[in-house]
Chains A and B, each alone.
Chain A
Amino acid sequence: MKGPRILGEEEIKIEERPPPPLERIKPHKWLSAKDLEDYKRLERDGYELYVSKIAEEKMRNHSIRFAEIQKEAMGLLLGWIYRNCGKEYTIVKDVVTTDLESSSVHVRFDRDAFEKLFTSLEEAGFDYLVVGWYHSHPGHGCFMSSTDVYTQRSLFNSSRHTAIVIDPVNKEIKAFYLDGKSIRTREFAIYWDEYENPYYGTRVKKRELRSDPDCVAPTQ
């Protein structure tokens, strides 16, 4: 019996597209003072990673929910890679997850729950790349453990890939990537699309207070 034979490969083309504008990005509220300094330093030049508000909320809420039962949370980052002025950047548009085999120091997908994960991928509603993964360290701080580094090296070994680590107990978040053999931190911004603005499509007018003779102020 012959093994499978590869006949050819087709790669994606990286599209030129400007990143989210300054008025639609913010630092994550759980950044440390030092990370916030780094964020501000890069604000003008742009970031290598932009995480949507929706994806950030899902990751944070997942991590908080699992911290309440002293367990780690985990999922995949879905997005795409773009180029702007010769520089590549990644957009994380959404995240997907499924049931987990999890403890306070270890996490992986439940072996019987892949179909739930695949349903989420089918229903993502956009062409995606798995641009990395997220997981939580409830109460242990944000760093890459030896297991995390092994995962990064065996699965996410391109510098485009990101590992987001969240500690919901200490309210910390950090993003990491593999640069050759070294793990480095990556500054990132939270962005929101125009349609995610709560006042999108409406004009908010200042209303004047009317004095109503029939309205009597409540007395104590």
Chain B
Amino acid sequence: MPLRIKVRNAESGATVEMELEGENTIDDIIEGAAGYWEKDAGAYVLRRGRRLLRGQQTVAEAGILNNDELELIPDPEGG
């Protein structure tokens, strides 16, 4: 059964509602949200509270639940 979650863009405050399958990965979520906001998916990390969600983990493995709110955080690099 599909899950519904919210992903907040920390830079703009905008939130998307997303429908997921248990086999979708964290990378799929990041790519879906970053793609929607026309951002570079590789430059973001995803958090659930204090926990970093790792890219290759599936939604089920990451313990993501229906109605969870995740946040897309920029991961800058300076030189």
Contact = CB atoms under 8 A, between A and B. Distances in A.
- For the residues of B in contact with A, the DSSP-based class is mixed
A122 interface: yes
B15 A10 contact: yes
Contacts of B28: 3-4
Contact of B12 (A11, A72, A147): A11
Contact of A107 (B15, B49, B78): B78
A106 interface: yes
Interface in A98-138: 105-109, 114-115, 117-119, 121-122, 128-131, 133, 135
A170 to B, nearest CB: 17
B78 A106 contact: yes
Given A6-B16, A115-B50, A130 B11 contact: yes
Interface stretch (A44-52, A54-62, A150-158): A150-158
A7 B49 contact: no
Question: Interface residues of B toward A: which range?
Answer: 35 or more
A118 B51 contact: yes
Contact of B77 (A9, A108, A118, A131): A108
A11 B10 CA distance: 12
B12 A129 contact: yes
A7 B17 contact: yes
Contacts of B29: 4
Contact of A147 (B47, B75, B77): B77
Given A7-B19, A114-B45, A1 B77 contact: no
Given A2-B24, A72-B78, A151-B43, 4 more contacts: A121-B10, A121-B71, A154-B43, A155-B39
28 contacts: A1-B23, A4-B18, A6-B17, A6-B32, A10-B15, A11-B13, A11-B14, A12-B14, A74-B78, A76-B76, A107-B79, A115-B51, A115-B52, A117-B73, A122-B49, A122-B50, A129-B12, A129-B13, A130-B10, A133-B74, A135-B78, A147-B77, A147-B78, A147-B79, A148-B78, A155-B43, A155-B44, A157-B39
Interface of B: 4, 10-21, 23-24, 28-29, 32-33, 36, 39-40, 43-45, 47, 49-52, 71, 73-79
